[in-house]
Amino acid sequence: MKKMLTIGGVSPHAVKKALLFMKLTFLLILVATMQVSAKVNGQERLSLNLRQVEISKALNSIEKQGVYRFLYNSRLNTIHKKINIDVKDLGIRDVLNNMFTGTDLTFKMLENNLIVVVSSSPEAQDIKITGKITGENGEPLSGVSITVKGTSNGTSTDNNGNFTLTVPEKGRLVISYIGYETQEVAINNQSVINVKLTTAKKTMDEVVVIGYGQATKRDLTGSIVKIEGKEIADKPNTNPVASLQSKVAGLYVVNNGTPGQTPDIRIRGTGSIASISPLYVVDGVFTYDINYVNPQDIESMEVLKDPSSLAIFGNQGANGVIIITTKRAKAGQSFFTFSTSTGFKQLVNKIKLANASQFNTLFAEENANNGVTNNGYVTLPDLQNNTDWIDAVTRKGIQTANNLSIANSTDNNKFNFSIGYTLDQGMVVKEQLKRITATINDECKINRWLKVGVNFTAMREDLPYDATGVLGLARQVMPQVSAKTKPYKVQNLYGNDTITQNLYSTTYSALQNSGVQNPFIDMQNRIYNIDILYRYVGSVYAEINLMKHLTFRSAVYGDFSNENHRQYTPLFYGYDPKDGSPVVINAQTKLVQGLTSLRNAQTDNLLTYKNSFQNHNLTVIAGATTYSHQINYNQMWVVTPDNSQPIPFNKRFWYPSAWPYSEVTNDPTKTYSYNYEPNYTAGFFGRALYNYDQKYYLNASIRRDGSSSFLPAHQWGTYWTVGAAWELTRESFMAGQKTFDFLKLKGSAGTLGDQAVPTGVYYPSYPGLNSSGQTVWPLPDPTTGYGGAGFITNTTYGKAYIANPDLHWETVHQYEFGVELEAFQRRLHFEATYFRRKTDGAMGLYYIAGVNKLENLVDIENKGQEFSASWNQPVSRDLSISLAGNITFIQNKVLAFSDPSFTYIDQTSQNNGEQDSRTIVGQPVGEFYGYIAKGVFQSYAQILASPVQSSLGQIRPGDLIYADLPDPATGKPDGVIDSKDRTYIGNPSPKFTYGASLNVNYKAFSLGVDIGGVWGNKIFRAWGSLEAPYQRVNYAGFQLDAWHGPGTSNWTPLLSQGDRANYVGSTYSIENGSYARIRNLQIAYTVPQHVFSKTSPIKALRVYLNAQNLITWKNNSGYTPEFGGFTQYSTLQSGNTLSAAATTFPPNPLQFGIDQGGGAIPRILSAGLSVTF
Amino acid sequence: MAFAGIAMLLDGCTKFLDRKPLSATADDLGSGSGAFEKKALGLYSALRGDAGFSTLAWLDFHSIRDDDAQKGSSISDGAEINAEFETFQYTKNDWATNAYWGDHFNLIQLANEIIHDADSVKPTDEGSKRNIGEACFFRAYSYFELVKAYGETYLPLENFYYTSPNQQIVPNAQPGQIYALIDSDLTIASQYLPVTWATATGNSNLGRLTSGAANTLWAQTYLFRGNWSRVIGLCNQVISSGQYKLDSPFTNIWKDGLNGAGKVGPESIWENINYVGPNQTPWIGTQWGTSQNVRQGGASVDWNLGWGWNTPTQNLVNAWDSATDPRRDMTILFSGRYDGGTATGGYGNTLPAYNPGVLLDQKYWNKKVYSDPQMRSFTGQIGSSGGADWIDHRILRYADVILMLAEASNETGDGATAEQMLEKIRSRARNGGDPTKVLPHIAYSTQAQMRQAIKNERRWEFAMEGYRFYDLVRWGDAPAVLGSLGYQPKNALYPIPQPIIDQFLGKLTQNPNYP
């Protein structure tokens, strides 16, 4: 404890909490071990003093000491021989030699302290059987223990998985092996018994992938959660991480309903105010974008949360790591599997908006409030519609994922190939993602000491139309506008003839001419996009066995992508609903072509030493790695010089090169931009995993990393971790108890780093220039000397950002301790962890006098408790039930600013600068800030009797009443509502997140239900509360309750965009973000194995139905309670620009939990099938 | 492959990590002659790009606050501006007011950076000195606008240049301190800036800042301080430079046509220059013209010329003696009427009628920014993409020099000069009309009579140009003229934006009239 204290720099309060947690955990263990605590005498060295006992009894008493287990045939005569033995403090070999003196018995030590006792003189009794024990995929298993049930008679398999055993004719064999399910087989007079073992569900012996290696969970001191690929494969999410929602304690996933979008993922809280995304390691490749990983190809995902697993990732480990391992063929496998699933996406929890007659009523009410008559639209024939715009722009989207994989593997060559096709239609009309992935990997064992392999994945993704924002537009358009087209005779803008076109209505300009548009016109404009992303990720590696225990592995990884973007904006018409006449909406054709190419390269060189000495087990690695990341970004655009020569509506011409002068870069009709943003890191690392007799564990690692993002003085950082664990169940004092099958106490502490620098600020230490400014001077007319002869333009330079030569890493100090246990015949699995993460110098971008500066700005603390438990209950041979749950409590707090003169970081957004989040010392990151609304003024008398609110604008009955908070100086309210009356009005981060699942297997059927949710967070609803004053948008449903006379409402203020006092950020806009959701409900049927004959081409078949996001219980008025960090959306609709690189990291934790009236998360009903040949 | 990796490491990680930016940095601009040029041009770019100088926020502070101009647009659009700037319910946290403050300080910071760098390099070449002059001008201009709007603001510490937020956390600077900085900056600007950028080989910088601009701005600052002799001296300096003359007819000042015709005309001392090419490419514009041109409302898309802000009030129309002043029809565009054709700055079109919510939402529009249909077609800012981003904001024009001289002369008892200067303006405005009927000559009789005549003349001459509110405040007439709109003496100054007060941790104090 003491050590941890100094590491973390913990406050006394934190220590108290931590101590309490430890005490509770310890108490639990203490109670459970009470009855066995008297027997503490177990040592690895043995003492034995027995008189006149059978050898078998003597072996029994050694077994009771809890270290060794014996296997022998109880029918051996000599095993019943009575002996005297008196030894003190001897090793097992000496004890046994002593015992067996004068008998024909010998013994053989196997792994895991298993000792086989055999007779040197063969006895011909019973029957002799032979057999082979293999794993799930037919690979031979050596060292498997085989015993006759109820006896100590047994043996173990040799290197090829074979065994020979003499057994009684009747009886059962018990076959057990670490990492596999124990299986029983009836002997029934068979002479050959071959058994295939299935992988165990025992969490502790599971092999997990860690940084630069593998280990069993038992060997580690940290918290790693493994998710099997099959849990992901049958869920309708194109991004595999989306399927992890509510499944893993400490992993917070905020999903996004737009195809191709990455969820907002946080591991153990919001550790930074800038980069919060975890690192993904896909088969060794470091990446922050896993869109190329086909969910069906995933073998497992490991979520790494704790210092002892993360420090090895050095400067990229701070936000946690998700390791993804793709499927590999296993020896002896040869199959192909086809899986397919198709589902329908559906908008649920539609937001409530006014319909046409309600709009009329409310608009008349608003006009009356402002003393205006302004209803020219009411009688216009084209504005007599009652369009439900949300229905109009949404649809049932189809989502389908199809995958074919082929595996063929021999002992020396393992080959895998898979190809996947995904179609993911959004809920919004025309939104559609298509993705094809192909993966090939091969590993070849050249000889005894050399293994080489290659992995390669190619992806093509086609996402032409970014519909983000369409739902927002649909919310804004007044329902009177028609969503249907009408035929009009119009001038063909591409030629001279007149043509008939089906035109959409524009919005009614007298009311909605500022930024509100018929979304269909927008779609029509933006759909001519060709946006194709190719990505190639591959690696080659070689593994050399240098010596018996020493392996060298070298790998080179490449991750290249090209995104080709072309957007054509055609000429098009709409019709004006006022007079029903066609209007040209876009009179200029435009063509934008952009290419973004990414080149990431990575090298790893790794030495692994693995050995056991007596009871000391050690795995040591040492390695070096380099990583480079480069972006090239090119963009060119063309507009035709005048409207008489539009770019035709013909794909053939949608290239800048198809147009004259295209080679001339200073042609004013074209622009060309180029950006090259490299970043390099290099690191050295080492790690030792040690355990003594699988009782005491020690993990330690160190990494030294350098990054080109910083100046040499701040380039290098060193990260380390130490972890320890104690497996109590291996102790002899626990030997007699039956409750715990496994009990481990663990703790680790260490440091991690984060060097991520936001897009666009790749060299924050250098004074970068911004050359986007331009000046123009008129050329003087030669006769007058004044303007009139054209122009000359100049490019200007300004600062891109303020250089910060002192910028350095973010450093995270983290510690955790916890307990893992399995109990009640391994039916219960339970883990509890307390952690504390402290980020020092989290980088933040702030705005100072017009430019950004990146600085190590704040220290942030996240502490919390994670609990997860599962219970597996076999009810009968046919029925089993398992129940699992997890819950995570996280407290997030800003501890300090790097410069004590800073008080907070302000993030304002929304139209009128009133929606604030503040990040201040002592409060959570990004907490909402504003006034407290107490109700609505009912009368002038009430206004006069209340604190003066005039600093917020003119106040009248119907306006919100804000609370007059006590003045910090006097402790009393000052009778005036002003800026000093703002306070913290809601934390966007939940107090806890939870998930639970129930799985029932009955014969070949299985039913799974996943539930997840969050509790205790707030949502800032910006729509319906903070509309831009220059926009007339449709009314929110809740505005039907707006105040319209004394006593009509005490919460929703009167309708009037002029009453800006109602448009300040306040609790009026704050909603409860807690929710619970049935995330998945799945029913599956696996055709039983016996159905397929030996000659059947089909080897396995599974069908299932899945419902995702079936029901959500929520408290807010938006589509969904899930709002990730606000990201800057692309500005594609302007036509001239590609999606601009946001100058902040998306997702932005400072703008988290804001409901802009979009973001719907669909319900997906899908059916799937998986068949193996 | 392994060897490649190892070799790379052996090569030295430091070398591997030592990556310099692959684009130019400020260090690459060097420090000698020409190092300041691109940054100085950046000042013009910022002036054009920021709303605080060119569009709605500027109009709110300068024009909409007076009795002659109003927000305009449609009733529901920008309703908060009605309250804030027309009925003087000043609010402390609104995009327009925040942008106005922020944009001015951004420009100050850009200028500070140049002045700061120049302090360390002390360049002596003419080019660099001009750039320093430009930076000093822009800083003085911004501070003058701020001191007019807010009274007390702040002056950042340490060479006025800061790179860390805490450096800007300083207490209020009194108007006197701010004017001292303005005076020292304009001393340098008027010295370092050229009289004209024209050279023997031509003028590729027409419209760039000159010493005439510095002197005019300086004269304005003295006018606000009532330092008449300095006003007279500076105005005479501008006049005697011979660079400027009153343009005639009056409509010429506002011409903004093809190929830049009308830009930087004879009367222009300083303007914010814009250019929009075919199909809005390139777009080197502002929304100055767009924000003020006729708003479509419910009318045909042909009248989607802009957002329709800053429109003339009935008060202005009523107060204007239409029979004798041709400027009225050159300043006001009437809904439902013929635009008057070229004679009054029109283009031969008839506007749809005033009918809020059905046709046009305003009766009157600012004709000084009325967009040229040829330019609408040329730029593609037409129909549903309507706008007028090419139109220049004429910030300083020669007529102001003449009227400042008239006013200062009158105040110092030089009635003759006052009368003479006033007549210059009136005779140009007369537009060839009969001097006995149209804008008759006003002879000096008393100082008070002449003072009133000059006040009136400024009202007509500069109507809708954003002079009037600060003139009323300066003359002390604001309570009388604007009182009925809700103006109180404290409204002469606007409160400092709340986010700024918040940022300054209480060191910068709010105007005590706005607790």
pLDDT tens per residue across span A1093-1116: 767 888 889 999 999 999 999 999
pLDDT tier at A40 (50, 70, 90 boundaries)? very low
Distance CA A1106, CA B404 (A): 80
User: Is the N-terminal amide bond of B373 cis, ω within 30° of 0?
Assistant: no
A708 interface with B at CB cutoff 8 Å: yes
Q: DSSP character for A980?
A: G
Q: Judge whether residue A286 has pLDDT over 70.
A: yes
Q: Encode pLDDT of A128-143 as tens digits.
A: 888 888 877 677 777 7
pLDDT at res. A1022 = 87
Q: Which of A112-116, A496-500, B486-490 has the highest mean pLDDT?
A: B486-490
pLDDT at res. A35 = 37
Comparing A809-818, B63-72, B105-114, B254-263, the range with the smallest average pLDDT is: B105-114
Long-range CB contacts (< 8 A, 24+ apart) of B434-439? B437/B323, B437/B324, B438/B324, B438/B325, B438/B326, B439/B324, B439/B325, B439/B326
Comparing A80-94, A1018-1032, A1093-1107, B151-165, the range with the smallest average pLDDT is: B151-165
Question: With contact defined as beta carbons under 8 Å apart, do A870 and A829 qualify?
Answer: yes
Question: With contact defined as beta carbons under 8 Å apart, do A1116 and A1139 qualify?
Answer: no
Interface predicted TM-score of the whole assembly (ipTM), two decimals: 0.93
Structure tokens at A432: 């559609």
pLDDT at res. A10 = 40
Q: Which residues of A touch B109 (CB under 8 A)?
A: 849-850
Q: Judge whether residue A791 has pLDDT over 70.
A: yes
Spatial CA neighbour of A425 closest among A649, A149, A238: A238
Distance CA A123, CA A103 (A): 14
Count Cα neighbours of A114 within 13 Å in the Cβ-side half-sphere: 20
Spatial CA neighbour of A695 closest among A662, A756, A743: A743
pLDDT tier at A6 (50, 70, 90 boundaries)? very low
Spatial CA neighbour of A954 closest among A966, A938, A943: A943
- Residues A183-204: what's their mean pLDDT? 75
pLDDT at res. B317 = 93
pLDDT at res. A122 = 52
| pLDDT above 90: percentage of residues in chain B | 62
Matching residue, tokens 């139209």: A911
Comparing A296-310, A1135-1149, B418-432, the range with the smallest average pLDDT is: A1135-1149
CB atoms within 10 A of CB A214: 12
pLDDT at res. B167 = 65
Question: With contact defined as beta carbons under 8 Å apart, do A835 and A866 qualify?
Answer: yes
Spatial CA neighbour of A544 closest among A611, A450, A609: A450
Matching residue, tokens 């980069």: A275
Higher pLDDT, A711 or A540: A540
Q: Which residues of A956-994 are buried (b: 16+ CB within 10 A; e: fewer)?
A: ebbbbbbbbbeeeeeeeebeebbbbbbeebbbbbbebbb
Matching residue, tokens 């004017």: B179
Q: Judge whether residue A644 has pLDDT over 70.
A: no
Q: Judge whether residue B87 has pLDDT over 60.
A: yes
Residues in A 712-751 with any Cβ partner in B closer than 8 A: 712, 715
Q: What are phi and psi of A547, to 5 degrees?
A: -140, -175
Question: With contact defined as beta carbons under 8 Å apart, do A216 and A198 qualify?
Answer: no
Question: With contact defined as beta carbons under 8 Å apart, do B345 and B251 qualify?
Answer: yes
Residues in B 266-325 with any Cβ partner in A closer than 8 A: 266, 273-275, 277-282, 284, 295-298, 300-301, 304, 307
pLDDT tier at A127 (50, 70, 90 boundaries)? confident
pLDDT at res. B354 = 95
pLDDT at res. A178 = 65
Q: In 3-state terms, what secondary structure has residue A1047?
A: coil
CB atoms within 10 A of CB A1051: 14
Total length of chain B: 515
**A590 vs B19: CB contact, 8 Å cut-off?**
no
Matching residue, tokens 């301080």: B225
Distance CA A876, CA A1001 (A): 10
Higher pLDDT, A793 or B235: B235
> What is the nearest CA distance from B466 to chain A, expressed in angstroms?
22
Residue in A with minimal Cα distance to B277? A668
Q: Which residues of A touch B71 (CB under 8 A)?
A: none
Side chain identity at B324, as an amino acid letter? Answer: T
Structure tokens at B495: 């409160």
Q: DSSP character for B295?
A: B
Structure tokens at A822: 């399995």
Structure tokens at A889: 């409590």
Strand-strand pairing, A1075-1086 and A1005-1015: antiparallel
> What is the nearest CA distance from A840 to chain B, expressed in angstroms?
19
> What is the nearest CA distance from B455 to chain A, expressed in angstroms?
31
Q: What are phi and psi of A272, to 5 degrees?
A: -145, 170
Question: With contact defined as beta carbons under 8 Å apart, do A982 and A906 qualify?
Answer: no
pLDDT at res. A32 = 42
Total length of chain A: 1173
Distance CA A807, CA A299 (A): 40
Q: Encode pLDDT of B310-369 as tens digits.
A: 999 999 999 887 678 999 999 999 999 999 999 999 999 999 999 987 899 999 999 999
Side chain identity at A1041, as an amino acid letter? Answer: D
Residues in A 951-1010 with any Cβ partner in B closer than 8 A: 951-954, 976, 978-979
Structure tokens at B341: 């054709």
- Residues A836-848: what's their mean pLDDT? 84
Torsion of CA B79, B80, B85, B87, to 10 degrees: 80
- Rounded alpha-carbon distances, angstroms, from residue A605 to A283, A541, A554, B6, B160: 15, 10, 4, 8, 52
Spacing of C-alpha B302 from chain mean position: 29
Higher pLDDT, A434 or A494: A434
Q: DSSP character for A118?
A: E
CB atoms within 10 A of CB B47: 24
- The vertex-A257 CA angle with A253 and A262, nearest 5°, equals 50
Distance CA B284, CA B389 (A): 8
Predicted model pTM: 0.81
Q: What are phi and psi of A992, to 5 degrees?
A: -150, 155
Spacing of C-alpha A143 from chain mean position: 39
Q: Encode pLDDT of A336-345 as tens digits.
A: 899 999 999 9
Give the start-end residues of each E strand in B149-286.
268-272, 275-276, 283-284
Distance CA B172, CA B510 (A): 9
Matching residue, tokens 């779609």: A523
Distance CA A898, CA A478 (A): 49
Q: Judge whether residue A673 has pLDDT over 80.
A: no
Q: Encode pLDDT of A1128-1170 as tens digits.
A: 332 222 222 222 223 334 567 777 888 888 888 999 999 999 9
> What is the nearest CA distance from B248 to chain A, expressed in angstroms?
14
B353 interface with A at CB cutoff 8 Å: no
pLDDT at res. A675 = 63
Q: What is the CA radius of gyration of chain A?
A: 35
pLDDT tier at A148 (50, 70, 90 boundaries)? confident
Spacing of C-alpha B276 from chain mean position: 19
Q: Encode pLDDT of B266-299 as tens digits.
A: 999 999 999 998 878 788 999 999 999 999 988 8
Task: Quote the mean pLDDT of chain B.
Answer: 89
pLDDT tier at A37 (50, 70, 90 boundaries)? very low
User: Is the N-terminal amide bond of B249 cis, ω within 30° of 0?
Assistant: yes
pLDDT at res. B454 = 97
pLDDT at res. B298 = 85
Q: Encode pLDDT of A501-517 as tens digits.
A: 999 999 988 888 777 88
pLDDT at res. A1107 = 95
A574 interface with B at CB cutoff 8 Å: yes
pLDDT at res. A431 = 87
Question: With contact defined as beta carbons under 8 Å apart, do A1124 and A254 qualify?
Answer: yes
Distance CA A189, CA A172 (A): 11
Q: Encode pLDDT of A362-406 as tens digits.
A: 999 998 998 877 667 888 899 999 999 999 999 999 999 999 999
Spatial CA neighbour of A397 closest among A259, A300, A495, A512: A259
Q: Encode pLDDT of A218-259 as tens digits.
A: 888 888 899 998 888 888 888 888 899 989 999 998 888 888
Matching residue, tokens 């896993």: A290
Q: Encode pLDDT of A984-1038 as tens digits.
A: 999 999 999 999 999 999 988 999 999 999 999 999 998 888 887 778 899 999 9
DSSP characters over B84-137: IIIS----SS-HHHHHHHHHHHHHHHHHHHHHHHHHHH---SHHHHHHHHHHHH
**A788 vs B262: CB contact, 8 Å cut-off?**
yes
Distance CA A469, CA A525 (A): 14
Distance CA A505, CA A1084 (A): 48
CB atoms within 10 A of CB B19: 16
- Residues A444-451: what's their mean pLDDT? 91
**A799 vs B304: CB contact, 8 Å cut-off?**
no
B263 interface with A at CB cutoff 8 Å: yes
Q: DSSP character for B171?
A: P
Spatial CA neighbour of A202 closest among A221, A226, A223: A226
Bridge partner residues of A813 (DSSP): A751, A838
CB atoms within 10 A of CB A542: 16
Q: Which residues of A touch B486 (CB under 8 A)?
A: none
pLDDT at res. A912 = 55
pLDDT at res. B104 = 92
User: Is the N-terminal amide bond of A1147 cis, ω within 30° of 0?
Assistant: yes
Of A583, A849, A901, the CB nearest to B106: A849
Residue in A with minimal Cα distance to B267? A786
Q: In 3-state terms, what secondary structure has residue A912?
A: coil
Question: With contact defined as beta carbons under 8 Å apart, do A434 and A270 qualify?
Answer: no
CB atoms within 10 A of CB A111: 11
Structure tokens at B99: 């942008």
Q: Judge whether residue B171 has pLDDT over 80.
A: no
Comparing A177-186, A1137-1146, B370-379, B478-487, the range with the smallest average pLDDT is: A1137-1146
pLDDT at res. A1140 = 26
**A777 vs B20: CB contact, 8 Å cut-off?**
no
**A903 vs B2: CB contact, 8 Å cut-off?**
no
Higher pLDDT, B218 or A290: B218
Higher pLDDT, A34 or A761: A761
Q: Which residues contact B335 (CB under 8 A, 6 or more apart)?
A: B351, B352, B353, B354, B359, B360, B362, B363, B364, B365
